[in-house]
């Protein structure tokens, strides 16, 4: 039944893939926190107006790709297709203008209805950073530096390259828009239907359209950089100087644009050729015009986003993802259901000591099955107290990595029992100590 399959363009993150996903996000978070960015989370859906105002009524995202529906109260709601608009909305609705500059990190699922392909899903995950309230070009330099630091930490920067361009200020954009429309109008009979529709409403997006015929026409279009005013040239020069000072290699790509109208000045992409046509692993730029679309005062802002799934694909191709199974929890085996409380207390004592531990919940009659379960969970050791161990007044700690065994004493006299809290019937401190010896011997660390 199709209903029992994931919806097209979505997929399940099972434990192994979830661990790799978490590795990417945690590394991005660490790089952002290192630069002073604080984590925020916005709702997974917003009033549709949030995205129509910011992305534009004529953008492909709004007209073709948004998941929009009416809720039971009659409100028009949209699953967020990207993170920046939600951050800008939060900036306005939470009254944060008086606290600038603000440095934010976010991560979470986004949704777009588009044709699924390698590195592109309908439910996908993004992480990103936003810097609000900084008009200086050094803000753009910092944003790029944070992105590069993340890619270094994750181990792929040596397989990536940075391209950037200037979109100039509003004056420069207006001048270039008129020049571009004049040029493209001479090719109306050769442009694709989609580009003809964009010509009057949003001609800049034609520059990034993938139609092969359009790409040939665009290849000879006027170059944006030739129509920048002096203020825009100076701004971009300072960005390039900042990257040089940090030793970040880069190349200016005069054809690089961001399709959304609120972008200005610096735009950039970090690309990996290992991903083929969908090679952009990070993209961003300056968007000084975004917040004012909520009828607020203009707020300078810059940021970037990372496609987590796309980056995971690059990491897999490059063999940069750790495929070694993570150690599972210590397993406490069960032999006598009538003594289940004792086993539960052993688990509690390990957890209280910050050691991952779980109680075997299957059939207690078969020791072999319990050890197989622990092995499947990649447990470093198991805690065993069968009838023999109980008779000796012991709990056995079996090392599943090298097969060694150790024993921990349990309460063997009434005096000891009376000096311990009533809920404990075993020497939990000795059990914890023996387990820690196993963990230390094999340098077991849980992420």
Closest residue by Cα to residue 290 from 53, 96, 93, 59: 53
H helix intervals, 247-360: 308-317, 340-352
pLDDT of residue 239: 98
pLDDT beyond 90 at 312: no
pLDDT of residue 413: 38
**Averaged over 6-34, what is the pLDDT?**
90
pLDDT of residue 90: 94
Residue 388: burial class (beta carbons within 10 Å; 0-12, 13-18, 19+): exposed
Name the least confident of 207-211, 299-303, 315-319, 359-363. 207-211
pLDDT in tens, 100-153: 999 999 999 999 987 766 657 889 999 999 999 999 999 999 999 999 999 999
**pTM over cut 0.95:** no
Domain ranges of the chain: 2-169+229-317, 330-441
As beta bridge partners, residue 305 has 128, 283
Q: How far apart (Å, rounded) are the C-alpha atoms in residues 287 and 307? A: 19
Phi then psi for residue 408, to 5 deg, are -120, 135
pLDDT in tens, 125-136: 999 999 999 999
pLDDT of residue 119: 59
Looking at the domain that runs over 330-441, which CATH code has it been given? 3.40.50.800
CATH 3.40.1390.10 fits 2-169+229-317, yes or no: no
């Amino acid at each position: 039944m199709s209903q029992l399959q994931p919806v097209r363009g979505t997929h399940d993150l099972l434990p192994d893939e979830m661990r790799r996903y978490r590795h990417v996000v945690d590394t991005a978070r660490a790089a952002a926190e290192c630069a002073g960015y604080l984590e925020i989370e916005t709702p997974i859906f917003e009033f549709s107006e949030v995205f129509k105002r910011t992305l534009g009524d004529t953008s492909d995202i709004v007209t073709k790709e948004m998941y929009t529906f009416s809720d039971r109260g009659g409100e028009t709601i949209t699953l967020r297709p990207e993170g920046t608009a939600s951050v800008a909305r939060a900036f306005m609705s939470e009254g944060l203008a008086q606290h600038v500059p603000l440095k934010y990190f976010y991560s979470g699922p986004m949704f777009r209805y588009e044709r699924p392909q390698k590195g592109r899903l309908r439910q996908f995950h993004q992480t990103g950073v936003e810097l609000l309230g900084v008009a200086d070009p050094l803000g753009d330099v910092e944003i790029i530096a944070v992105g590069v630091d993340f890619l270094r930490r994750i181990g792929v920067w040596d397989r990536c390259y940075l391209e950037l361009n200037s979109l100039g200020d509003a004056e420069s954009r207006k001048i270039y828009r008129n020049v571009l429309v004049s040029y493209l109008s001479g090719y109306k009979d050769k442009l694709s239907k989609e580009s003809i529709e964009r010509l009057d409403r949003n001609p800049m997006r034609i520059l990034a359209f993938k139609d092969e015929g359009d790409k040939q026409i665009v290849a000879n279009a006027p170059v944006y950089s030739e129509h920048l005013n002096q203020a825009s040239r100076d701004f971009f020069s300072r960005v390039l100087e900042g990257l040089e000072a940090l030793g970040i290699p880069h190349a200016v790509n005069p054809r690089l644009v961001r399709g959304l109208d609120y972008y200005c000045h610096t735009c950039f992409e970090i690309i990996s050729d290992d991903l083929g046509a969908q090679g952009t692993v990070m993209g961003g730029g300056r968007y000084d015009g975004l917040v004012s679309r909520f009828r607020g005062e203009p707020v300078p802002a810059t940021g970037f986003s990372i496609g987590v799934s796309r980056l995971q694909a690059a990491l897999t191709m490059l063999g940069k993802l750790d495929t070694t199974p993570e150690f599972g929890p210590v397993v406490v085996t069960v032999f006598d259901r009538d003594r289940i409380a004792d086993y539960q207390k052993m688990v509690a004592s390990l957890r209280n000591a910050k050691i991952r531990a779980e109680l075997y919940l299957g059939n207690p009659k078969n020791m072999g099955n319990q050890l197989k379960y622990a092995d499947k969970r990649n447990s470093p050791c198991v805690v065993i107290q069968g009838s023999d161990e109980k008779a000796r007044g012991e709990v056995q700690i079996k090392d599943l990595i090298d097969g060694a065994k150790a024993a921990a004493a349990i309460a063997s006299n009434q005096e000891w029992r009376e000096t311990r809290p009533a809920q404990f019937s075993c020497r939990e401190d000795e059990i914890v100590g023996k387990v820690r010896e196993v963990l230390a011997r094999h340098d077991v660390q849980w992420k």
